[in-house]
Chains A and B, each alone.
Chain A
């Protein structure tokens, strides 16, 4: 079967660093995506990993280990506007992205 797991909720304070983990078990793998979704809005693209290692993009970084079926999204210097849901999604050849249920991050001052 297909399974993508991530924590349901996380909390952090402004200026801190938070790591959101994602583990996956899928029948195929063509890459892993992270999306950000603010309440009531559509998801927006954050990052894409297809090879093992760390991809850095400003305050956000994403890591992938294909052998372990594991990824994380690292958010640095947290800001209040980072309060949102973060969705992990796996791409498979010939079909659509499969999404996890998302992690709701609350950033407090």
Chain B
């Protein structure tokens, strides 16, 4: 069966520090991968999605970036965090984008 792993679960980082969040999927090949952010009291905002290795689509211009170095690995990064980057970050995967997503357990990031 397919599983998705996301870590860390919680993170407190100072303003201006770098960020790296990792997501891996097991039990499937060539999944579509997604990064969403959910700010307090707000909906899920799509940040990046990827349909294959090295293919990244950005939905919202900001100081975040994403990479897909391997088929089942998706990384969200920042060189310098802002206070506004605080939120709940969710990684998700789907086989074709039309049959629902399975989400990872999320990372709660607090920038102080």
Contacts and interface: CB of A to CB of B under 8 A. Distances in A.
Interface of A: 30-31, 33, 40-45, 48, 87, 89, 91, 93, 95-102
Contact of A48 (B42, B57, B99): B99
21 contacts: A40-B108, A41-B106, A42-B90, A42-B105, A42-B106, A43-B90, A43-B103, A44-B103, A45-B100, A45-B102, A48-B100, A87-B44, A93-B98, A96-B34, A96-B59, A97-B97, A97-B101, A99-B36, A99-B44, A101-B42, A102-B43
**What secondary structure prevails in chain A residues at the interface with B?**
loop
Instruction: Give the interface centre of B43, B57, B102 by most chain A CB atoms within 10 Å.
Output: B43
Interface residues of B, number: 23
B44 to A, nearest CB: 4
Nearest to B35: A96
Nearest to B6: A42
Interface string B70-85: 0000000000000000
Contact of A30 (B44, B98, B104): B98
Contacts of A33: 100-101
Given A42-B105, A42-B106, A96-B59, A91 B44 contact: no
Contacts of B112: none
Contacts of B34: 96-97
Interface in B25-66: 32, 34, 36, 42-46, 49, 57, 59
Contacts of B44: 43, 87, 89, 99, 102
A94 to B, nearest CB: 8
Contacts of A40: 108
A41 B38 CA distance: 11
B8 to A, nearest CB: 15
